[in-house]
Each structure stands twice: as C-alpha cells, then as structure tokens.
Structure 1
Amino acid sequence: ILSHLIINENQDVILTDLDSLWINSPLNDISIHSASSSIVSSRAWWPHELWSVWGATLCMGFIYFKADEFSKYFVNKIYLTMSDNINNYRKVDDQITANEELYKNQIEWFDKPMSVGNNAIANIGSISYNNMSYSITLLPHYKYIRNCNNLTDYTNRNEKKSRFNDIVILHCKYNRKVTRNLVFTFFKNWTLSITQANKLIKELNQYNHNKNVDYKSKNQMELDKL
C-alpha cells in the first residue's frame, strides 16, 4: 500500500524486506541501471512456473521502481490485484502477482537463458505499455544473493573476505536458523570448518529440496492458468 501511495506522488520507491541484509550500499547500482530501466530488481526463482520458463524471476525482497508511467501502472496493478483477491493466497503474494503481470504483458528477456547462480552480469527485459517500450533490469545474483548455497564453497580466509566485499544485498531464502548460522559463522568470524560447511550445505540443500518437491507438480498447472 505504501509503495502504491508513494509512487503516485511521483517519488521513486525502493522496496526491501526486513531480512535483506545491506552488506554494501546498492545506490550506485540503482543509479546506473535506472538511467535506462523503469524497474531494477534482485532475482529469485519464485514463482517456480515462471522461473522454469525464464530462468529467473523478479524478487520483491529488493526492488526499485522509478516513478515513470510504466512503474506507476505496474505498482498500481499489483496493489489492485492483491486488494481484489484477498482470499486467494496466490494473488496476495506480491512476487507472484508481479511476475505474472510481466508474463501476461509478454516481457521479452534478452540474453536468455537467465539463472539464479553466480552470474556477474545484469539481465535486461523489454515490455510495452501504451505504445512505449520500457526496460526492466535483473541485478546480478553474484552481488544480490538469494540462493546462499554456494557461499559455503570458500574455505580460504582471504577468499571469504574478498567474496564478502563483492556482496551488496544478502537475502537468503532459508529458515532463520540456517541463515543466522551462515551469516555469523561465515562472514562475521571469517571461519568455517569443513565439517561446519558440509553441515550447512546439507541443511540448505535439504530445505531447498523439500520446497521444490512441494511446488514442482504445481508449476505447469499454474502456468496454464495465466
């Protein structure tokens, strides 16, 4: 609701989840990409049915909206869809609604396939609105991290520190206990034994596997509804 009100006052909006850790400032990246894009977003894999088509999706855990005509339409559309479908669990999920809206409006992503991995480049998509073309940027996952599995690959102290300095936003998609252990054990103390690393990787992979099993059978069915 607040994003809807702010952008209609011609003010740009940065939307960030409380569990998105700002390791470094994202403002320089936003300044660079917003020069040519209406929306600048971190990336994820939810909803799964669109991740399976595109390779990555917009993540509402960290996203920037420029106060232009398309972003105003887009944010208002999300707000109205969620307001009108309060009893539909899918429609009150802003990330599902946002990505489905892009799909319905036939966004064209360049440089496909995209991914949610160690990609160090941004991906750009183009979408038409009122006979005008607008761009949307997905920030590189290497700097704006949602999948934290591979962060335990670093066993050398200097490698860990170097990797940490590259990260802008850390937004781990796992339960709080695992995320807390990952952040404080791996980053703050700069120490992670092989045993600890293997334990964390096992927990992360099991959690991710359980989630994927739950959603995999629903992906095509949900995509067919759009």
Structure 2
Amino acid sequence: MYATGDSVKHKGIGKFIIIPFAAFTAVIIYHAIAIYQFSQQDETQPADCAIVAGAGVTESRPSPVFQARLDHAVRLYQQRLVRALVLTGGYAPGAAESDAAAARRYVLAKGVPADAVFIEERSTVTRENIRYARLILLQQRWRTALLVSDPLHMLRLKRIANDSGIDGRSSPTPFTRYQSWLPKARFLLRESFYYSTYRLFHPPAVQNASIRT
C-alpha cells in the first residue's frame, strides 16, 4: 500500500513542526543547566551602585520577593560595597504608586540616606529595568554595578546588563523566597524560556560596548 500525496504532505508538515520544537526544547534544557549553575555564583565586589530588579508590590509594600532583594541591597550599602542603590519598577495597572517608589520608602526606613537612593518608574520587565537603570548610571557617571535579584534570575539579568553596556556583576540574594522544589522548578522553567528567547532575538549589542566616564 502506497502513501498518498496528502499523507506525505502531512508527514512533511509534521517534521517541519516537530524538528524546530525539539531543537528549541533542547536549547531550553541547555540554558536551564547554565542558569542553575550560574545561580550558584556570587560575584559581589565593590561597585558604584547596586541595581535592584523589581518584583512587584502588595498593598503598597514591596512583595516578599522584592523585600528579599531590597534587604540584600541595603546590606551591600551598609557594608560599603556600593555607594548608591538604583531601584527599578514601574506602575502596576491601576496603581497610584510605582514599585520603585514603594521600594524607596522601604530602604529609607532601613536607614539608607535619601541621597543614596535612585529610582526609575517606567519599567515593567527585566529588559526595561536595565534600560532605564542605565540612564541613571549615565547621568551619575557610574561605570560599575552589582546586579541584585534572585539566584535563578541572575544569568538573564547579567546578560541583559552587559549587552546594554553596563559593567554588571551578579550579587544574588542569599535568602530567596523560592524555597520548595515546585516554585523553584517553575521559576527555572520560566527563566529558561525567557533567556532562550532573549538569546534568540537579542544578539549581543555592539553599539554600546561599555559605559564610560
């Protein structure tokens, strides 16, 4: 019994779909391993500032995940590893206050002086966190930054920062809110997808080699 033209066509279409899907899945798995391995690294060293990735606000207070990041940034400032904090996060739908403004209030209550706190209130995703934080670094003539976020977020955050011309080093939160295996697995899967798509559609930038004073 011979295959009809339609069946051959369907098989061809199936291969056309399955092969790219399998390849992308392999890329995600590869990047998941890289993300996990990089999450174990801590590149903390003296820098001009700390850039804190936003993580949402609940009832006018930074979310527990955001608080953990802010607490780590405050410790970096108190240890004199950075001279200033750059807090990121725009307005959630219907919110009267930006995430960064709520974060600013939080770190001020922790004892960080107002003149050491800078905020950007336009970002809604990681790429925008870095894009608008970079403008602050340019204005202040800063070159180096510690990047503060959860460990599994660090590889993507650092890649975006470096592609944007920021000399950024990872400084992951020592205590993440993602403790149990299921939230960690979800976070890792999400980061693997986002990182893979970023690498696919955003090759390394060459126009912004570095921020220079």
Alignment TM-score, normalising by the size of structure 1: 0.31
Which of the pair has more CA radius of gyration? Answer: 2
More strand by share: 1
Per chain length, whose mean CA-contact separation is higher, i.e. which structure has more relative contact order (CA < 8 Å, sep 6+)?
A: 2
